[in-house]
């Protein structure tokens, strides 16, 4: 039934664990470039990027939702990521590979807010990767649904 491949990866600890405890609370997202260098983003740095609003349905909620946050391509450009494939890792160790092409072809948003409220780990925060599902028919498919990573905390350049 779920034709896409899914891998559970046992990682020693969360990405957060590698960060100094003092800053751990502030950092929402870590992006590791191909060279192994890590770029840390706190809310301030994420909000400094151009913010966009995306109104769309999702596959796990009812009704239309309004998401706010930077475009994924702006975020990756800010971190200096140029690779074609990225690994996205969530708080619960959910790990998935994302083609960077998605972010140039579609206005994919790294949502920080849903319906005006900040996303938290209790919900689907700190970051939910949201595709413009309503705008493109091809995105209304499970093939893209599994790329909607929520509770995103880490991106690794392949």
Sign of CA dihedral 100, 105, 107, 108: negative
| Binding-site ranges for another protein (CB under 8 A) | 1-2, 6, 59-62, 91-92, 94, 120-124, 141-142, 145, 150-151
Burial of 56 (0-12, 13-18, 19+ CB in 10 A): middle
For residue 51, the minimal CB distance to another protein (Å) is 24
For residue 24, the minimal CB distance to another protein (Å) is 9
- Cis bond before residue 150 (omega within 30° of 0): no
Decide whether 14 or 49 has the Cβ nearer to another protein. Answer: 14
| Residue position matching structure tokens 């009704």 | 63
For residue 157, the minimal CB distance to another protein (Å) is 26
For residue 146, the minimal CB distance to another protein (Å) is 8
Taking the mean position of all CA atoms in its chain, how far away is CA 143?
16
Decide whether 100 or 119 has the Cβ nearer to another protein. Answer: 119
Decide whether 81 or 112 has the Cβ nearer to another protein. Answer: 112
Structure tokens belonging to residue 5: 């491949």
Sign of CA dihedral 22, 27, 29, 35: negative
Decide whether 48 or 142 has the Cβ nearer to another protein. Answer: 142
Beta partners for 96?
Answer: 88
CA separation for the pair 124, 141 (Å, rounded): 20
For residue 90, the minimal CB distance to another protein (Å) is 9
CA separation for the pair 145, 130 (Å, rounded): 9
Decide whether 78 or 134 has the Cβ nearer to another protein. Answer: 134
């Amino acid at each position: 039934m779920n034709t896409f491949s899914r891998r559970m990866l046992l990682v020693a600890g969360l990405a957060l664990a590698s960060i100094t405890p003092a800053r751990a609370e502030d950092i929402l997202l870590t992006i590791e470039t191909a060279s192994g260098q890590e770029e840390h983003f706190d809310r301030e740095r994420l909000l400094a990027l151009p913010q966009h609003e995306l109104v769309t349905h999702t596959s796990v909620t009812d009704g239309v939702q309004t998401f706010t946050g930077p475009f994924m391509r702006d975020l990756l450009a800010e971190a200096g990521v140029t690779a074609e494939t990225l690994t996205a890792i969530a708080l619960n160790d959910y790990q998935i590979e994302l083609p960077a092409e998605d972010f140039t072809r579609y206005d994919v948003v790294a949502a920080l807010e849903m319906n005006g409220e900040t996303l938290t780990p209790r919900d689907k925060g700190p970051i939910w990767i949201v595709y413009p599902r309503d705008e493109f028919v091809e995105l209304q498919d499970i093939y893209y649904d599994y790329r909607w990573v929520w509770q995103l905390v880490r991106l690794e350049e392949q």
